[in-house]
Amino acid sequence: MTGTAQLTELTADADAAGERLDRWLAGAIETLSRSRLKALIEQGQLRVDGTVLTDPSAKVAAGSVYALDIPAPRTADPTPEKMDLDVLFEDDDLIVLVKPAGLAVHPAAGNWTGTLVHGLLHHCAGSLSGIGGVERPGIVHRLDKDTSGVMVVAKSDAAHQGLAAQFAAHTVERAYIAFTRNAPSPKAGRIETQIARSPHDRKKFVVPRDPHSEAGKHAITNYATLARYGQAPDAAIGTGLAAKVECRLETGRTHQIRVHMGHIGCPLLGDPVYGHKRGNLLATSDNGRELKDFRRQALHAAILGFEHPVTGEALRFETALPKDMQRLEKFLERL
C-alpha cells in the first residue's frame, strides 16, 4: 500500500547558520532519522532556494528556504532486526526495557526500519502480543522518538489487555525528568487542559486558547520543581533561568509534557518543536556547547510502576538520566 508524498519547507534562522545540513534537518523534522534525511538529500530530494542540493554535509545558510520532498511511503510488515536492547525485566508475559533517545517505537513515515518493534520481533522471536497489529505488536504505550526512558511491552494478549486497562484507569505510575527553560511558578502544580492538534501544523499539538473548549483530549500533568538554575534578571531572587522538573502523568496524550510545560512558559530545553527559542542568557553561558549541541527535548521517562497483569505482583522500575542529559545538568549547575 502506498501513502501520500509530502513537501516540507523550512527557513533557516540565525542560530542554524553553519550547522551541518543533515544534522539541522534531523533536529527540525522529528519524524525522519538523520540517516533517512541524508539518503533523501543524496537522492536529490532537497532544494535550497529552488536549487537542488545533494551534499548532506553542506553548511546551513541563514535565511535560506529548504524544501524537502518526502516520497510516499510503502507500508510492509516489519521484519525482525537484531538490536541491543537494555532489558530490565522479562518473563513470558511482558518485557520492560530502557528506550534510548533517537529510537522510534514503531514503524511510521520516515522510520520503516530500525524501530523498537523491529528489535523486539528479533529478541522475542514471535512471542509479542498481536493486539497492536502487525506494525505495533505488543505496544501498550509509547515514548516520542527523542524521549528516552523505561517502557513496558506485552508479550501475551492477556498481559496486553491487563496493561491497557491499567493505563486507561490511570493507575500506572509514570514519572519523567525534564529540563526546562525558565522555572515553573509556582514550584509545583497541576496542569489540566485539553490538548488538540494545531490548526496550523498537523504535527504539533496545542492547548486551545478558549479555556472552555472541548476540542482535542483531556490531559493532566502534575509537576514538581527539583532544582532551579541561574537567576533571571529583573526578577525576584530565586527566579531561575532553567529548572529540573519531575512530571507525573495522569493521562498519556501525544506530546503531553512538551505541550503542557510550554503552556506554562517553561518549554523543554532542546525541543525542536515546542521550545526552539533557547534564551539569550542561557546561550551566552554555553561556552562548552552543552546546550547548543543538545538537539532533542530534554525529557526522560525515569519511573514506571504497575501491577503485573498476570501474576498481580507490584513492579516498579527507576532509571538514571542518560549521559547527554547528565552533561546538560552539569552545564545548568554551573549557571
**Short-list 32, 28, 33, 94, CA closest to 65:** 28
Taking Cα atoms as reference points, which of 261, 257, 234, 227 lies closest to residue 332? 227
Residues in contact with 284: Cβ distance below 8 Å, sequence separation at least 6, in sequence order = none
Sign of CA dihedral 17, 21, 24, 25: positive
The Cβ-side half-sphere exposure at 232, using a 13 Å CA radius, reads 16
Q: Which of 209, 216, 223 is nearest to 195 (CA)?
A: 216
Residue with cell 517553561: 266
Residues ≥6 apart with Cβ < 8 Å to 19:
59, 60
Rounded Cα distance between 218 and 199, Å, is 18
Does residue 271 carry a catalytic annotation? no
- Within its chain, how far is the Cα of 121 from the centroid? 22
| Residue 175 to residue 143: CA distance in whole angstroms | 13
Q: Of the residues 93, 144, 146, 324, which is catalytic?
A: 144
Residues annotated catalytic, as ranges? 144
